[in-house]
Amino acid sequence: MSYLFTSESVSEGHPDKVADQISDAILDAMLTQDPDSRVACETLVTTGLVTLAGEITTKAYVEIPDVVRETIRRIGYTSDLYRFDAESCGVVVALHSQSPDIARGVDESAGKEQGAGDQGMMFGYANRETPELMPMALAFSHRIVKELATIRKNTPELMPYLRPDAKAQVTIEYDDNHKPLRVHTIVVSTQHDEFDTDEKMLARIAEDVKKIVIPRVVPAELLDANTIYHINPTGKFVIGGPHGDSGLTGRKIIVDTYGGKGAHGGGAFSGKDPSKVDRSAAYAARHIAKNMVAAGVADEVLVQVAYAIGVAKPVSLNINTYGTAKVNLKDSEIAKIIEGLFDMRPKAIVERLGLKNPIYSPTAAYGHVGREPYTQEVELFRVEVKENNGTKEEIRRREKRQIEFFTWEKLDYVEKIKAAFNLL
């Protein structure tokens, strides 16, 4: 008998995602100058106000309010009609240095390697449902809200009433063998300008979503006459964004990862530098899972890794293939082989995936995983502190460098995995 599974996504203008993007923009601004920055930046957004709190230790100098306003401007909150806009919102900064009690367990020193920034467990997941090796319901949900933002920014004449806040939810029908059959239900709620009448509004938005947005992002063969649509089901959605609801960093961790498939360890990502294994080890676990599926070890893989604060070596690594393994090995045996291929100590993860670069702002909307890796030229402003005759001097130099983004999505370990499992 078939069954249903549902996932949701939210747009970059959703208040929680606004908070995530501000936190990661602050992190990137610090890393642009000082790659060893330690950042834990939490953001609260509400009507006309942004509040930043957390711990930062860095040699960088950043005009934090400017970074905040530029992020809000890029998202699209540029009108006072939204009651939250880049030019007029207040910015409150309450940031202080990292606790030395934490730093002493994490910092690398003579005779001691870099330890994990916290205890906890992190998960990575992959399956064969989509080309990006992600769960289908979440992948389609991401595509819908991202397309709404693309239309709003690039071709606004198609849907001229769009405002930045939006949500999408997709339900997939599966057969008994866990294979996707069809799209069962699509739910879309998008913020919009005022209309003459509610009836005119609902009709126009429903028609545009069905005729413009959905055909661009959902394969036609998965849609049929029985697919259910709920477009702006509450009716009017003029008040939205941080004015409609307050937003907080780290409140969309399921949207950020696998839409409820697999598992989640509970730690948020945005605003955290890569010494925090909440972020770096979750990326590394996705890297393992995706490469395992692409190599043909299994059709579905969940990777769990766990740490003790201040300790470099993980306390455990677990692999679950959900009975889909294509090799004649138990999951525990598969895990042993994977342990030999991937060094999961925090410093090794950071070096392998290039995580000290300013690469985090693009992750803060539309998912941290399931993205296309790319390389882009980035301007860096490096800060060096040199001592001359007992006087410390800061030297700042500008350089441009090609930097890789979403390195944990690269399929660069496929051949190594195939060789290790005799799949060549």
Q: What is the pLDDT of residues 193-207, one digit of tens each?
A: 998 888 888 999 999
- Determine if residue 268 is labeled as part of a ligand binding site: yes
Per the domain annotation, does 74 fall within a domain? no
What pLDDT shows up at residue 125? 98
- Does residue 306 sit in the same domain as residue 234? no
- Determine if residue 196 is labeled as part of a ligand binding site: no
CATH of the domain at 395: 3.30.300.10
Count the helices and strands in the chain (H runs, E runs).
12, 13
- Determine if residue 237 is labeled as part of a ligand binding site: yes
Per the domain annotation, does 17 fall within a domain? no
Per the domain annotation, does 380 fall within a domain? yes
- Does residue 232 sit in the same domain as residue 278? no
Question: Binning pLDDT at 50, 70 and 90, where does residue 53 land?
Answer: very high
- Does residue 281 sit in the same domain as residue 394? yes
pLDDT greater than 70 at residue 103? no
- Determine if residue 165 is labeled as part of a ligand binding site: yes
- Determine if residue 21 is labeled as part of a ligand binding site: no
What pLDDT shows up at residue 114? 79
- Determine if residue 55 is labeled as part of a ligand binding site: yes
The total number of structural domains in the chain stands at: 2
Per the domain annotation, does 44 fall within a domain? no
What pLDDT shows up at residue 119? 85
Residue in 265, 185, 192, 268 with CA at minimum distance from that of residue 222: 185
- Determine if residue 381 is labeled as part of a ligand binding site: no
What pLDDT shows up at residue 12? 98
Residue in 59, 74, 96 with CA at minimum distance from that of residue 25: 74
- Determine if residue 204 is labeled as part of a ligand binding site: no
List alpha helices for 258-345, DSSP H. 277-295, 331-341
> Cα torsion at 332, 333, 334, 339 (round to 10°)?
90
Give the mean pLDDT of the chain.
94
pLDDT greater than 70 at residue 106? no
- Does residue 281 sit in the same domain as residue 160? no
Per the domain annotation, does 108 fall within a domain? no
In which domain, by residue range, is 278 found?
120-127+274-420
Per the domain annotation, does 251 fall within a domain? no
- Determine if residue 14 is labeled as part of a ligand binding site: yes
Task: Give the CA distances from residue 295 to residues 109, 193, 403, 421, in Å, rounded to whole numbers and listed in that order.
Answer: 38, 48, 26, 9
Q: What is the pLDDT of residues 143-183, one digit of tens each?
A: 999 999 999 999 999 999 999 999 999 999 999 999 999 99
Cα–Cα distance measured from residue 327 to residue 422, given in angstroms and rounded to the nearest whole number: 9
- Determine if residue 167 is labeled as part of a ligand binding site: yes
- Does residue 279 sit in the same domain as residue 391? yes
- Determine if residue 256 is labeled as part of a ligand binding site: no
Domain edge (last residue) among 240, 264, 283: 240
Per the domain annotation, does 82 fall within a domain? no
- Determine if residue 272 is labeled as part of a ligand binding site: yes
- Determine if residue 20 is labeled as part of a ligand binding site: no
- Does residue 413 sit in the same domain as residue 293? yes
Q: What is the pLDDT of residues 289-347, one digit of tens each?
A: 999 999 999 999 999 999 999 888 999 999 999 999 999 999 999 999 999 999 999 99
- Determine if residue 17 is labeled as part of a ligand binding site: no
Write down the pTM of the prediction: 0.94
Cα–Cα distance measured from residue 338 to residue 389, given in angstroms and rounded to the nearest whole number: 51
